[in-house]
A and B are shown apart, each in its own frame.
Chain A
Amino acid sequence: MSFEPKIVGFLCNWCSYTGADLAGTSRIQYPPNLRVVRVMCSARIEPTFVLRALAGGADGVLICGCHPGDCHYSEGNYKAMRRFPLLKRLLKDHGVDNDRVRLEWVSASEGQRFADIVTDMTERVRALGPLRIKSDLQTDLVER
């Protein structure tokens, strides 16, 4: 069977989740590989969430928030903007390809943009193949 990537998407309630909703109500087609978790703000996404998703079997993680300047809470997305490059560095040092994680700004009116991002990311992660952290960690417990 061909590999279908599992991607966890953390979408902020105010812009990106609404943008994803718009993609749906506009009947824009995009791959069903994204599992969406709605959060109140992109700043709510602790780096631990991303690590847990990857360790729990996700092949990639997409984080979407309001465009800079548009945050419902004024500054939340800037916190996401600052954490993300450091998180990418941490993942790179863990040997996890940076194409597996992505931070994008999607407004409530950008249904098409959301669909394009999901399509592009799904293809990139598909090309990278499965991330085997979960099975590797299970193996570690039986094979020393």
Chain B
Amino acid sequence: MAARKLQIALYWGAACGGCDVAVLDTNEFILDVAAAADIRFWPIAVDGKYHDLEAMADSELDLALFNGAIRNSENEHVAKLLRQKSKLLVAFGSCAHMGGIPGLANLVTKDEILATAYLSNASIEPGNQTIPQARTAVDGMPLEIPSFYRRVYRLCDVVDVDYFVPGCPPAPDQVKAVLLAVVKGELPPLGSVVGASERALCDDCQRTKSEKMVRHFHRPFEILQDPSRCLLEQGILCMGSATRSGCGVRCPNSNQGCRGCYGPLPGVADHGASFLSALASIVDSKDPKEIDQILAGLPDFISFAYRFGLPASTLQRSYR
């Protein structure tokens, strides 16, 4: 009798779809996966409904890759279903891992978001007063849609997560490595970050680095950069020093600063604060006024510091 095929599921919560595409970006490898495994549930690529998932026995799946953050009750419902039905649940990509770009919505309130989307946006029909509700009556029949949460959560805020695969999106080679590790049963202790390095991005970056002292911060398009020299030394924001490597140095190799999608280094509690510490230290001034002027060159710093992980940060959201 042939060996039992691996039973896998993939799902997206509050996500852009890039993580699903990253799985497809493994090219022909995905055909090997399909040959070695039964893809039981994958909304972006395979037909299947929630009731199919509900009908499965507990732990019937071997592996569930969950990408996307938890923004509404539907995301949480499917996260809990997958937790119940799968032996392994993996937070796949920055959003599931740390909240991701959708997590930046924690800087504003639910009411502000709904007002912008449905009441005050320039493209809204003037006078519109309709905001979708979780429960409404249509022609006398009750209609339910997922309820929109007050804030964004990480996957591990709502269910137990076995492994974390960082990246926005995870690099295809890392996706392969993770799938192969599951097939071979060669997995690290539960709770580990897999498919990434234990070192900082700077360790893998080939640009030359010397002493960092910065008097002006620039956005990448504002200066002609030296392609061989450390971006931060040139005043271009790069989170490499505070960020876990494993992506293949994709952004600095494309002349963009690291944005931190692989998350903090092992043992670091707060990614943005750790970057803040390193960044402010290299400001080349001992005069408070001048320091303020130099730091003023950093627009919207909080969104930069926590671009991929506000819900994973110490304060997690706004307290206005």
Q: A interface vs B, CB < 8 Å?
A: 46-48, 51-52, 54-55, 68, 78-79, 81-83, 85-87, 89-90, 93-96, 131-133, 136-137, 140-141, 143-144
Q: A48 near B151 (CB under 8 angstroms)?
A: no
B276 contacts A by Cβ under 8 Å: yes
What's the nearest-Cβ distance from chain A to residue B102, in Å? 15
Contacts of A141 in B (CB 8 A): 157
Contact A86 B150 (CB under 8 A): no
Which B residues are within 8 Å of any A CB, using their own CB?
73, 76, 107, 147, 149-151, 153, 157, 269-270, 272-274, 276-277, 279-281, 283, 285-286, 288, 291-292, 295, 298, 301-302, 305, 313-320
A-B contact sample (12 more), CB < 8 A, given A48-B269, A95-B320, A144-B147: A46-B277, A48-B270, A55-B314, A81-B286, A82-B285, A82-B291, A82-B295, A83-B277, A85-B295, A89-B302, A140-B150, A144-B153
Question: Is A93 touching B150 in the complex (CB atoms < 8 A)?
Answer: no
Task: Tell me which of A47, A82, A87, A132 contacts B319 (CB under 8 A).
Answer: A132
Q: Which residue of A lies closest to B298 (CB)?
A: A86
Known contacts A46-B274, A55-B314, A143-B150: does B319 contact A96 (CB below 8 Å)? yes
- Indicate if the CB atoms of B281 and A47 lie closer than 8 Å: no
Q: Which residues of A contact B316 (CB under 8 A)?
A: 137, 140
A133 to chain B, nearest CB (A): 6
Q: Which of A55, A90, A133 is in CB contact (< 8 Å) with B272? A: A90
Chain B residues in 8 Å Cβ range of A96: 315, 319
Question: Whole-angstrom distance from the CB of B294 to the nearest CB of chain A?
Answer: 9
CB neighbours of B107 from chain A (8 A): 93-94
